[in-house]
């Protein structure tokens, strides 16, 4: 599993890192994004580009988003 830790990075660097990591993601693999705020614009990007995600928030303010590519079949 690829992990992108984007805590403390300023816009647009977290988004850029996720997009770069997605280009390296094989079908069936997952990546985890760890970030300091909920990345709502990223959710729209993922949905438009056939990715699914599961987001979880934590008491310390971080979010962890698990991302995977939807199969075409």
Cβ within 8 Å of residue 63, ≥6 positions away: 33, 34, 35, 36, 37, 38, 39, 55, 56, 57
User: Cα separations (Å) of 18 from 11, 22, 58?
Assistant: 12, 6, 20
How many other CB atoms are there within 10 angstroms of residue 60's CB atom?
Answer: 6
pLDDT computed for residue 27 by the predictor: 84
pLDDT computed for residue 71 by the predictor: 81
Where are the strands (E) in the chain, listed by range?
2-5, 30-35, 51-57, 63-69
Mean pLDDT of 25-33: 93
Q: Which two tokens stand for residue 6?
A: 């984007």
> For the chain, which residues make up each domain, given as ranges?
2-69
For the domain bounded by 2-69, which CATH number is listed? 3.30.110.40
* Single pTM value for the model: 0.91
Q: Does residue 73 have a pLDDT over 70?
A: no
For 39-72, how does the pLDDT look when each residue is reduced to its tens digit (9 = 90+)? 999 999 999 999 999 999 999 999 999 999 998 7
């Amino acid at each position: 599993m690829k992990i992108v830790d984007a805590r403390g990075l300023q816009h647009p660097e977290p988004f850029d890192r996720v997009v770069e990591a997605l280009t390296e993601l094989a079908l069936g693999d997952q990546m985890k994004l760890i970030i300091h705020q909920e990345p709502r614009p990223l959710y729209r990007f993922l949905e438009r580009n056939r990715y699914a995600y599961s987001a979880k928030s934590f008491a310390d303010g971080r979010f962890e988003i698990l991302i995977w590519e939807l199969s075409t079949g």
